[in-house]
Amino acid sequence: MHPILFRIPFPGWELPLLGKITSIPIYSYGVMLGLSIVVGWYLTLGLAKRDGLPQEEMANNYVFTALMAILGSRVLYVVTNPDEFKSLADIFALRRGGLVAYGGFLGGFLGSWLYLKRKKLPLLPWADVAVPSLATGLMITRVGCYLFGCDYGKRLSDTAPGVLKRLGTFPHWPEGTLDKGTGSPAWVAHVERHLVAGDASSSLPVHPTQIYESLVGLSLFALVMLQRKHQKFRGQVFLLFTFAYGFCRYSLEILRDDAERGEYGPQMAEHLLVPGGLLLLGLAYIFFIARAIELKPLRLATQAVALLPALGLFLALRPPGFAEQVLVRLSTSQWVALLTGLAAAFAYNTFSDAAKAHPERAMALELPGDEAPAAEEEAPRPKKRKKKKAKAEATPEATPEAAPEASTDESPADEGEKLKPA
């Protein structure tokens, strides 16, 4: 558990803004982030090829999306923690850490939308092939968070399993490990709160929430790959991932204890506010997403289970009689998880209903080149309808009722011809 994997020796050159450099540190989080991008590249482009999306455009879009994701994750961190940045150079000092996963998702989504709109390519088919790489990215990058020690959780109880305590104990780094800070974030926080002495070798045992979220990433990867096998409409995989990650992230934030998350919104009693968000997500699953499950026993079972997290959390957080209530706010990530989860559930239900009415159209790629043949096939149809209409209008003239009128009109003329002198 160390923030730097190794150092590359470097001549002691004086560089502008950086000063004298004797070695280049290779940070564990940066390695995991780079690995997640490489894995996502092959996974996304492989799925895009399988779905019939244009390879060159998807490759360019992946690069642009990845850059926008990194930018978005940094922007959200800066907005959430403005006190950490004293100058413009601090904002670009990415080697010190400071990225928010949800900022990456939002920035990546915006980047994909901008690129694909410019190329006149559909967004939802791309989103379906991209979200599996988001799941593997969570799985890999959270390992980097664990090695660095950031995004740690709340203190474990004394009765917690010994394995969990060992995983959740973060060390006091040797002096000079990093330019900023003398220990892992959990150790620093516990020293500042006077929970451990300044010469303690490690922090108190906390929830290793980084490992929890890494396991969430693995589970979400299995979920979305299973959904791909039973996909009914474009965007289904993306919307399911967005809702499921929103539910999981909202829940994990309850265990997080790092101050960098930021808190917003009204203060309310903890046993009402936090379970209330889970209740909304559970109801969204019951009324919007579960309706798409065809097997009735499975649908009813999952709908019943969807309410258990909110109920269990309410009972766990409810204060004893006459005890003082704990007032809390939701974190930034909880607000984003709640809002995106609810929006994804509503969109999932809307697209699912449309897919039942038009199943073939719901799975169409709608690429620019696919529109021309359809227009050519439909072009002759109006002409055929006009011909039928013309025949229908001509039919009354040939009816038996019209025949006597025709013979009556001709008879005076015939009589006139007979009366003419020779």
Which pLDDT tens digit goes with each residue over 311-353? 999 999 998 876 788 899 999 999 999 999 999 999 999 999 9
Q: Enter the pTM of the model.
A: 0.83
When pLDDT is averaged across residues 274-291 and rounded to a whole number, the result is: 97
Please tell me which residue, 130 or 5, carries the higher pLDDT value: 130
pLDDT of residue 372: 45
Please tell me which residue, 22 or 136, carries the higher pLDDT value: 136
Q: Which of 136, 135, 115 is nearest to 126 (CA)?
A: 115
CA distances from 48 to 122, 124, 234 (A): 12, 12, 13
- Is the per-residue pLDDT at 270 higher than 70? yes
**Per-residue confidence band for 370, with pLDDT thresholds at 50, 70 and 90:** low
- Is the per-residue pLDDT at 119 higher than 60? yes
Please tell me which residue, 330 or 408, carries the higher pLDDT value: 330
pLDDT of residue 401: 45
DSSP run (H or E) holding 13: strand 4-15
- Chain centroid to Cα 402, Å, comes to 72
**Per-residue confidence band for 422, with pLDDT thresholds at 50, 70 and 90:** very low
pLDDT of residue 250: 97
pLDDT of residue 99: 82
pLDDT of residue 95: 61
pLDDT of residue 313: 96
- Is the per-residue pLDDT at 101 higher than 60? yes
**Per-residue confidence band for 127, with pLDDT thresholds at 50, 70 and 90:** very high
Instruction: Enumerate the domain spans of the chain.
Output: 4-154+207-264
pLDDT of residue 10: 78
When pLDDT is averaged across residues 153-169 and rounded to a whole number, the result is: 95
pLDDT of residue 100: 84
pLDDT of residue 398: 45
**Per-residue confidence band for 283, with pLDDT thresholds at 50, 70 and 90:** very high
The set of residues, in sequence order, having a beta carbon less than 8 Å from that of 69 and lying 6+ positions away, is 104, 105, 107, 108, 111
**Per-residue confidence band for 407, with pLDDT thresholds at 50, 70 and 90:** very low
Please tell me which residue, 44 or 87, carries the higher pLDDT value: 44
pLDDT of residue 94: 66
**Per-residue confidence band for 216, with pLDDT thresholds at 50, 70 and 90:** very high
When pLDDT is averaged across residues 169-191 and rounded to a whole number, the result is: 82
pLDDT of residue 259: 74
Q: What is the largest CA-CA distance in the chain?
A: 142
Both tokens of 8, joined, read 């590359």
State phi, psi for 267 to the nearest 5 degrees: -85, 130
When pLDDT is averaged across residues 279-303 and rounded to a whole number, the result is: 96
What CA–CA distance (Å, rounded) separates 42 from 48?
10
What percentage of the chain exceeds 70 in pLDDT?
83
What CA–CA distance (Å, rounded) separates 30 from 235?
31
The set of residues, in sequence order, having a beta carbon less than 8 Å from that of 219 and lying 6+ positions away, is none
pLDDT of residue 38: 96
What single DSSP character describes residue 263?
Answer: E
What CA–CA distance (Å, rounded) separates 305 from 311?
10
What single DSSP character describes residue 197?
Answer: -
- Is the per-residue pLDDT at 381 higher than 70? no
Please tell me which residue, 162 or 413, carries the higher pLDDT value: 162
Residue showing tokens 């399911």 = 240
* Mean of pLDDT over the chain: 85
pLDDT of residue 298: 95
Both tokens of 132, joined, read 């599996």
When pLDDT is averaged across residues 130-140 and rounded to a whole number, the result is: 97
CB 30 within 8 A of CB 53: no
- Is the per-residue pLDDT at 369 higher than 70? no
Q: At 157, is the secondary structure helix, strand, or coil?
A: coil
pLDDT of residue 385: 52
Q: At 166, is the secondary structure helix, strand, or coil?
A: helix
